[in-house]
Amino acid sequence: MSLRELVAAEARLARAAVPHLNDVAVSHALREAATAVAERGDAILAANELDLSEEEGVLDPGTIDRLRLDGPRLNALAEQLTAMADLEPLPREGAAWTLPNGLAVSELRIPIGVVGANFEARPNVALDIAAQLLKSLNAGVMRTGGAALRTVTVLVDDVLRPSLEATGLPPGAVGLVRSPDREGARVLVSLPHEIPLVILRGSGETTAALAKRAAEHGVRALAHAEGGGVLYLHGSAAEEKVQHIVEQSLDRLGVCNRLNLLLIDHEARHLLPCVLGVTARLGIEARATERARTLDRSRLAALDERLGHEWANDAERVATMTVDLVDDLGEAAAIANHETSGLAAGIVAEDEAAAEAFLNAYRGTAAFWHATTRFTDGFALTGAPETGINVDWSPGPRGPVTYRDLWLRQYRIIGDATQTR
């Protein structure tokens, strides 16, 4: 069988499962799966050992670490499944009204059907995504980064599928692209009839290329590809809060929602030393536009990238951020809107009217006042893990996407034919 036929076969199994999914059974199945993680721990760890043995020295240490499972991490997987089982089901009924002609109209949220998901080589993400798809009563076909394929195969075949079956649900509800080849991701986004929607986790050019391919094939993608947090320091900003939020915004590197572009208002230039104190302590290099460099040429390196460049995604200089100097709030919002991907931006300002104006002017997926853009995360904001982040400029799930977003609108109309002229 070709890879395409293999993926289509998993999608067919998944599609056949969709009508059988229901909230009660899915919660049961996720609890079963939590138990199965413990029971099948040896098999999971053995597969993970094999995955790791092939990648040691090939992948970077961070990636290896995210791929690795051990006893405590197995426990965390089980807890994560139980937490998903405990979450409220997605409400299925939206607004309802009766028309003057007597027709009863309601807006329902029906399952999408088969949803694809492409993600990095992390076993915990596989369970996370599978749980979210099931929780929204969708079936799925997953594709993991090749390095985790053995581990994820055991998680699908020995944990998820038996748990579905034990609960009376069709095991094929969770499908897998059973090939480590990157071509698997390309196939996953090119089957519009079998898999009309694909969640693309991850950032950078690979994701952008997959999103483009999906579009060309008539497949909708919820994708991120680019991101980065913006922080604007208003003239009324309190130094203590600036220090705190900059620090919170750089507590972790390599993540899209960390501080990427700092915009200092002309009136707030006295706060630059405070910012540079934090970045120096954290080992972050500050690169600045020419106009910002006039503030402190010795501590601000020249920017050799466009303003909205996402450093988190730049393997060579992940510990870097950009600084720019702006004339006013309007310019800050314009830069955040037009020079960045529109993931998230925040303002530090004691002046409430200024904060309000910035929040109203910013058009990205999440706007913050006196809080770090690091909170741009489905779990942090909504209590449900996110399947990914979507940054496009169209109606539908935008920003962190959770299981609560994975539905289709359907109007349902009930009438009595003899009365509805």
- Residues in touch with a second copy (CB under 8 A): 19, 99, 103, 105, 110, 112-113, 196-197, 212, 215-216, 218, 220, 222, 240-241, 244-245, 248, 348, 359, 361, 363-372, 375-376, 380-382, 392-400, 405-418, 420-421
Residue 88 C-beta: closest distance to a second copy, Å = 13
Residue 219 C-beta: closest distance to a second copy, Å = 9
Residue 272 C-beta: closest distance to a second copy, Å = 18
The residue among 51 and 386 lying less far from a second copy, judged by its C-beta, is 386
The residue among 113 and 123 lying less far from a second copy, judged by its C-beta, is 113
The residue among 152 and 189 lying less far from a second copy, judged by its C-beta, is 189
CA distances to 257, 260, 321, 348 from 285, in Å: 18, 11, 6, 21
Beta bridge partners of 29: none
CA distances to 269, 276, 277, 337 from 295, in Å: 7, 12, 14, 24
Looking at the chain, how many residues does it have? 421
Residue 279 C-beta: closest distance to a second copy, Å = 17
The residue among 75 and 243 lying less far from a second copy, judged by its C-beta, is 243
Please list, in sequence order, all residues whose beta carbon lies within 8 angstroms of the beta carbon of residue 242, skipping any fewer than 6 positions away: 233, 271, 274, 275, 348
The residue among 300 and 384 lying less far from a second copy, judged by its C-beta, is 384
Residue 274 C-beta: closest distance to a second copy, Å = 13
The residue among 51 and 405 lying less far from a second copy, judged by its C-beta, is 405
The residue among 41 and 364 lying less far from a second copy, judged by its C-beta, is 364
CB-CB neighbours of 121 under 10 Å: 22
Residue 25 C-beta: closest distance to a second copy, Å = 16
Residue 171 C-beta: closest distance to a second copy, Å = 22
Closest CA to 87 of 406, 389, 379: 379
Residue 240 C-beta: closest distance to a second copy, Å = 7
The residue among 109 and 161 lying less far from a second copy, judged by its C-beta, is 109
The residue among 29 and 112 lying less far from a second copy, judged by its C-beta, is 112
The residue among 150 and 404 lying less far from a second copy, judged by its C-beta, is 404
Residue 154 C-beta: closest distance to a second copy, Å = 31
Closest CA to 279 of 346, 231, 237, 238: 231
Residue 2 C-beta: closest distance to a second copy, Å = 23
